[in-house]
Amino acid sequence: MAKPKNVIEATRENWIANTFPEWGTWLNEEIEHSLVPEKNFKIWWLANNGIWLKTHEDTNILVDLWNGTGKRTHGDGLMKKGHQMQRMSGVAKLQPNLRLQPFVIDPYAMKDIDALFVTHIHSDHLDINTAAAVLQNSTPDTKFIGPQAVVDIWHSWGVPEERTIVVHPGDEIQVKSVTVKALEAFDRTALLTVNQDQTIKGSMPQDMNEIAVNYLFKTSGGNLYHAADSHMSNMFAKHGNENDVDVEIINYGENPRGITDKVTSFDVLRSAEDLKTKVVIPVHYDIWSNFDADPKEIIKIWQMKKDILNYQFHPFVWKVGGSYTYPQDKERTQYHYDRGFSDVFSLENDVPFPSFL
């Protein structure tokens, strides 16, 4: 939509069309043109638990991209009946879960996706606009992969059955150069908040393996473990014993009173030790205003304990829209956006400078 030339042409509709997504197609273009070094893999953080994985062989995998918002009005001040947090905690007052992060990618401009993976049923991971965009912009070979309840919801939205694949813990799927292994999830929140709109064909809703899984993405550059919204579990040690993990992604946040939904800074480190990963990257703390947390807390605790407990891993503090290349970035502990201006003074400068500069 053309930008208005005067205040008469300026409207709410063209403001929205010209503003969102805030990054336009900048990140879409970066991902498309990015060349991954041999024996590396590259990931981009798309906010919340959303990840784009790209390999040296040009395999492109999308995980849990969410294109929605949180609260947008105070309304009557009461939590919507049946909301997952209401069902889990009995809270009645409307919660201030506002979306904090911009939309850094345009879902309808995404290209070359080889598979969409979704970890579980919650709507900030299982997104209708993501499903529509992938369906519209991909070939019939692009698959939609998730646990049974996720696939059932895709079907209800109109995703063709032949495009979907149901996975259970232990299953392996080959997506071009990447082998993806489904693993048990430890997401009590999903277990407690499944509702009648997320029923599972032929299975009890309380079966965790039907509503949520974790994933291990095995690439020629290393293995990425996506823990989704798992809570802390001793089973991380089982996964670490049975699989080689190089990079772990796990949800983290400052839980409100009476809620145990995100893992704590201590449990981020515990899960990393159990998985025997080399790098752990916290996510999800960025998206909800009432779960907002500072990941530098994880760094501080790691610094306190790493020598005492002989940690063989380190945390990495990411920023939304940023990339991480493994093992190229293996020693980094914090991301910073590209500052640009690397070619400063490559053109003749025509701005007059005082002599003292």
Kindly write down the DSSP assignment for every residue of 83-135, as one continuous string.
Answer: -HHHHHH---BPP---B-S---S-GGG-----EEE--BS-TTTS-HHHHHHHH
Q: Which helix (H) or strand (E) holds 240?
A: helix 235-242
Question: Is residue 2 one of the residues assigned to a domain?
Answer: no
- 104 domain residue, yes or no: yes
Residue 4 lies in a domain: no
pTM: 0.94
Residue 357 domain flag: no
Q: How confident is the model at residue 190 (pLDDT cuts 50, 70, 90)?
A: confident
pLDDT at site 354:
64
Q: Is residue 309 part of a domain?
A: yes
Q: So what's the pLDDT on residue 196?
A: 52
pLDDT tens readout for residues 239-249 = 999 999 999 99
Q: Is residue 342 scored above 50 in pLDDT? A: yes
Q: How many residues does the chain have?
A: 357
| Average pLDDT of span 101-120 | 97
The pLDDT of residue 350 is: 76
Average pLDDT over residues 292-310: 97
Number of domains present in the structure of the chain: 1
Which whole number is the average pLDDT over 321-343? 96
pLDDT of residue 344: 85
Asked which of 260-269, 314-323, 334-343, 348-357 is least confident by mean pLDDT, the reply is 348-357
Model confidence at 204: pLDDT above 50:
no
Domain assignment of residue 334, yes or no: no
Of 84, 130, 138, whose CA–CA distance to 111 is shortest? 138
List pLDDT tens digits, range 59-81.
Answer: 999 999 999 999 999 999 888 87
Q: Is residue 345 part of a domain?
A: no
Range of the domain at 219: 19-326
Question: From CA 120, how far away is CA 228, in angstroms rounded?
Answer: 8
Query: What CATH number corresponds to the domain at position 84?
Result: 3.60.15.10
Question: DSSP code of 334?
Answer: B
Examine the pLDDT at 356 and tell me if it is beyond 70: no
- The residues, any chain, with a CB within 8 Å of residue 121's CB and separated by 6 or more, are 147, 149, 150, 153, 190, 194, 198, 211, 212
Structure confidence at residue 193 (pLDDT): 74
Q: Report, as an integer, the average pLDDT of 259-285.
A: 96
What local confidence, expressed as pLDDT, does residue 355 receive? 57
Query: Tokens 């060349």, residue?
Result: 35
**Enclosing H/E stretch for 184:** strand 178-184
277 in any annotated domain: yes
d(CA 116, CA 39) in angstroms, rounded, equals 23
The predicted structure's pLDDT at residue 19 = 94
